[in-house]
Structure 1
Amino acid sequence: MRYFSPSKAVILLLLTVCCYCTSFSQTEKKHDVIVKLNGDQLNGDVLEISDSTIRFTYTGEKLIYNIKKSEILKITFASGRVETFNAPPATAQTTPVTATGASTAERRNKVAVLPFTFVKDGQNAAQEVSDEIQNELYALLSKHSGVYTVVSPRATNVLLTKAGITKANMLNYSMAEICQVLGVEFIVDGMVTQNRTTQTSYGNTSYSDKTKKNDNSDDKKSSGSASTSSTSVQNYETTMDMKIYNDKSEIVYNQNRKAFWNTADAYKNTMEYLVKRCPLYKK
C-alpha cells in the first residue's frame, strides 16, 4: 500500500481546491452591462428590446424594469457584443479652435474688430447691421492707428467662420483663443442698444395767393388758400458699449456711453467719441 507524507497531502489538497475554483469561475454565468447617458452602470440581463424601451432585470433578482432607450448610451452583452443607442452629450465647445500659427511676435500690434451686437427694442438686429458697424469702426480706427495694424473686417470674418466661431457660440471661447485664431494682439468688441422713445411732430403751413384784375377798372381782387402739413419723426435712446481685449483675455479698455442725439444713427457720433479715447487711437 502506498502512503503520502503529510506535506504531500497538503499540496494535493491545495491543488484540488485550485482546480475546483478555476472550474467554478469558468462556468460562472456572465451578465449584460447597461451604461446610461448619465454614467450609471447596470449589471444584469437584458430580456427584450422594443422600439422605445428595454426590459431588464438585475443580477440575482426577478423584478423586471422597463428602461427608456433614450436614456441608454450602450449595452455590453454577455457575449461581448456592444450596441450603442445614443451619442454622449455634446460638450460646450464642439468646434476646435484653429489658430493661424502666428507667433506672439507676429501678433504684436495687430488689431481685429469683431461684428458688434446691435439690439433694437429688445431684439437682435440683422447681421448686416452688425457688419455695418464693424466696417465703420474699422474705417475710423485704421485712419488713426499709428503703429497698430487693423485687420480688415472681411479677413476677420473669414477666419472666424473657418474656426466655427459665431455670435451665438462666442461665449464658449476665451478672447485669448480668438486672438490666436485671428493672429492679433488686440480685439475690439462691443454692443449697441437702441430703444424707441417719443415722437416729434413738425408742422408746415403754406399760403397760395391769387390776384385777379377787372377788365374795366384798375381794381384788383385777391384770393388765396392755406394748407397745413405735419411730419412725425421717431426718437431713439442709444447706448454704445465698447471693450478692447488683449491676447491674455485682459480688458485694456472698457467704456459705456449714451448717445447725445436721439436719431437712429446717433451711435456713429458715440462711436467716434469712444474710439478717440481708446489706447489704440493715435492723432
Structure 2
Amino acid sequence: MRYFSLFKTVLLLVLTVSCYFTSFSQTGKKHDVIVKLNGDQLNGDVLEITDSTIRFTYTGEKLVYNIKKSDILKITFASGRVETINTPATTVQNTPVNTGAPTQKSAEERRNKVAILPFSFVKDGQNAAQEVSDEVQNELFALLSKHSGVYTVVSPRATNVLLNKAGITKATMLNYTMAEICQILGVEFIIDGLITQNRTTQTSYGNTSYSDKTKKKEDSDDKKSSGYASTSSTSVQNYETTMDMKIYNDKSEIVYNQNRKAFWNTGDAYKNTMEYLIKRSPLYKK
C-alpha cells in the first residue's frame, strides 16, 4: 500500500507538471500579426499567401479566412520578420491655393456695407456698351458715398473684381440669388438698376443773321443801302428715359423699389432721375 500511494503521488505530480508546461507552451507561443490599411490589427496564424489573398486563422480558432491583400498594410510574422504588402497613401498637406474665389464673410462683417451693381442700360431696345453701365455705377457711387451715414459703400472696382472672380456676369446674374451675391461681395445691401432710353422727336432751332452795307455817292446826298441775311438751323434729338432702382438685403428681400420717368428729354436726363431716387432710399443720409 505504501508503494502504491507513493506511485499515485508521483504520477499526479508528473501530470500536473506536464499540464503546466503544455499550457505555458500554448500561451507563450508567438503568433503572426496582420495590420490592415484601415488600422485594424489581426492576431493569429498566416497559413498561405496567394497573389490576391491571404489565408488566415485567428488565435485559438480553426476557421480559415481569406483576406484581400489589397486591404493589408503589412504582416509581422512570429519569427519577427516583417513583410509590407501595400504602401500606405501619403497625406500631403498642401498650402491652400488662392483660386480667386471670394472668401465668405460673417453677417457682422457684412453689416452696413453696400455694393452697387453695374446698371443695365438699354437704349432703343439694345444693350448699351459696358462702359455706359460702368459710368452709371461710378456716378451713383460718387453720389451715395457722400451721403451714406453709417453705411460703407464698396467701390465699383472692388465690386466688379469680386464679381469677375466668381464668374458672375450680366448673362449669368440670374443664376444667383441676391443673398448669394451679398455673400460673394461681403455686403449687407445691394443696389441694382435698369435704365431704358428711347428716341422720340427732334427739336430744331433756327438762327438768322443780317449784314448791312451803306454806300455814299460823291455827287449827291442820297444814300444807297445794300445787305444780306443768312439762316442756319440745328436739330437736337429728344429721348424718353425711365429708371428702375431696387435695393436688396442679404436675405434677398427688396427693401426699396422705385420707378421714375425722367422729367427732361435730354440724353443725360437719367442723372437727375438717379439723384431723385437715391435721395429717397433708406441708404441716403442728408
Question: Which amino acid letter does the alignment assign opposite residue 270 of structure 2?
Answer: Y
Amino acid at match of 1:138: F
The alignment status of 1:141 with 2:133, answered yes or no, reads no
Q: Is the 8 A contact 1:100 1:182 kept in 2?
A: no
Give the aligned residue type for 1:106.
Answer: E
Describe the superposition over 1:4-24 as per-residue Cα deviations: whole angstroms up to 9, x where unpaired.
Answer: xxxxxxxxxxxxxxxxxxxxx
TM-score normalized by the length of structure 1:
0.64
Residue 122 of structure 2 corresponds to residue 116 of structure 1 = no
Among candidates 144, 148, 153, match of residue 150 of structure 1: 153
Q: Distance in 1 between matches of 2:240 and 2:277?
A: 17
Which runs of 5 or more residues in structure 2 are unaligned? 1-98
How much has 1:251 moved relative to structure 2? Answer: 0.4
CA distance, structure 1, for counterparts of residue 259 and residue 184 of structure 2: 27
Give how far 1:97 is off.
10
Point out where structure 1 has 5 or more consecutive residues left out of the alignment.
1-95
1:192 aligns with 2:209: no
Q: Which residue of 2 aligns with 1:204?
A: 207
User: 1:183, CA displacement in angstroms?
Assistant: 0.6
1 CA distance for matches of 2:155 and 2:168? 17
Residue 146 of structure 1 and its aligned partner are, at CA, apart by 0.4
Give, in whole Å, the separation in 1 of the partners of 2:278 and 2:122: 20
The answer to whether the 8 A contact 1:259-1:266 is kept is yes
2:159 is aligned with what amino acid? T
Structure 1 residue corresponding to 2:181, chosen from 173, 178, 182: 178
Contact 1:97 1:177 in 2 (8 A): no
SS in 1 for 2:170: coil
Task: Confirm or deny: 8 A CA contact 1:99 1:181 kept in the other structure.
Answer: yes
2:250 to 235, 247, 250: 247
Aligned residues, how many?
A: 188
* 2-structure distance, mates of 1:255, 1:151: 22
Q: Distance in 2 between matches of 1:215 and 1:116?
A: 75
Distance 2:177 2:213 in 1: 74
Does 1:167 pair with 2:182?
no
Compute the displacement of 1:209 (Å): 1.1
Contact 1:114 1:189 in 2 (8 A): yes
Q: Distance in 1 between matches of 2:228 and 2:124?
A: 43
* 2:226 matches 1:223: yes
In structure 2, what is the Cα distance between the partners aligned to 1:281 and 1:218?
Answer: 76
CA distance in 2, matches of 1:247, 1:222: 80
Equivalent residue runs for 1:57-76 within 5 Å = none
SS in 1 for 2:104: coil
CA distance in 1, matches of 2:280, 2:220: 75
Equivalent position of 1:58 in the other structure: none
Letter of the 2:144 partner, please give it: L
Retained in 2: the 8 A contact 1:107–1:184?
yes
TM-score (ref. length: structure 2): 0.64
1:128 and 2:131 are equivalent in the alignment:
yes
Structure 1 Cα separation of the partners of residues 187 and 103 of structure 2: 10
Q: Deviations over 1:148-207 (max 9, x none)?
A: 000000000001001100011000001111111111000000100000111111111111
CA contact (8 A) 2:120 2:195 kept: yes
Secondary structure of residue in 2 paired with 1:143 = helix
CA–CA separation in structure 1 for the residues paired with 2:216 and 2:106? 90
Partners of 2:233 and 2:106 in 1: CA distance: 62
The equivalent residue for 1:269 is 272
From the CA coordinates, give the structure whose radius of gyration is larger.
Answer: 2
Checking the alignment, whether the CA contact within 8 Å between 1:193 and 1:240 is kept in structure 2 is yes
Identity %: 86
The one-letter code matched in structure 1 to 2:175 is: N
The Cα shift of 1:99 comes to 4.0
Amino acid at match of 2:276: Y
Find the counterpart in structure 2 of residue 68 from structure 1. none
Helix, strand or coil at the partner of 1:177: helix
Q: 1:149 to 1:112 in 2, by over 3 A?
A: same
